[in-house]
Amino acid sequence: MVTDVRQVFDDLVRFETVLWGAVDDRLRKECDLTLANLNLMMVIDAAPQCRVLDIAQALAITVGGTSQAVDRLEAAGHCARRANPADRRSSILELTSEGEALLERALPAFDGELRRLVQEPLSDDAVKRLGEALGTLRRTAIARAATGIPSAR
């Protein structure tokens, strides 16, 4: 059993590396955009009243790293900060018109690589099962980290 789980770990981590690299490469070539920046832009676009904290939580990354990434995205002209009327300590993030146009241009490249590397090799049922399994693992890991539950050894 341990060997099987180790193989799952190896396949999952190595596939993530290959997938990230392929998507990032296509986005850079076709849109002059990194996958990291696209991730930020997708969260900003999807989250009304988006704050840096919302992005950090959505992407499971640190607030400090998120803030620096948003600074770079803002410097590139793809997003803007405005005062948060509900909390003066934070800002609301919005895509600029340039950022919205870039996102619209980038999503077909993003979706194309996902189709090529995830959807095409698997049946629809296998994609659904994989998504459900990964979702369960992610939610469980986040919940355990939040409550301080140690991993079984």
State residue 152's pLDDT score: 59
State residue 1's pLDDT score: 63
Length of the chain in terms of residues written: 153
**CATH numeric code, 2-147:** 1.10.10.10
**Mean pLDDT throughout 60-85?**
94
Grade residue 23 by pLDDT with cuts at 50, 70 and 90. Answer: very high
Grade residue 35 by pLDDT with cuts at 50, 70 and 90. Answer: very high
The pTM for the full model equals 0.88
In the three-class reduction of DSSP (H, G, I as helix; E, B as strand; rest coil), residue 41 is classed as helix
Residue ranges of domains in the chain: 2-147
Asked if 39 and 106 count as a contact pair (C-beta separation under 8 A), the reply is: no
Look up residue 144 and give its two tokens.
């355990």
Question: What tens digit of pLDDT does each residue of 90-139 get?
Answer: 899 999 999 999 999 999 999 999 999 999 999 999 999 999 999 999 89
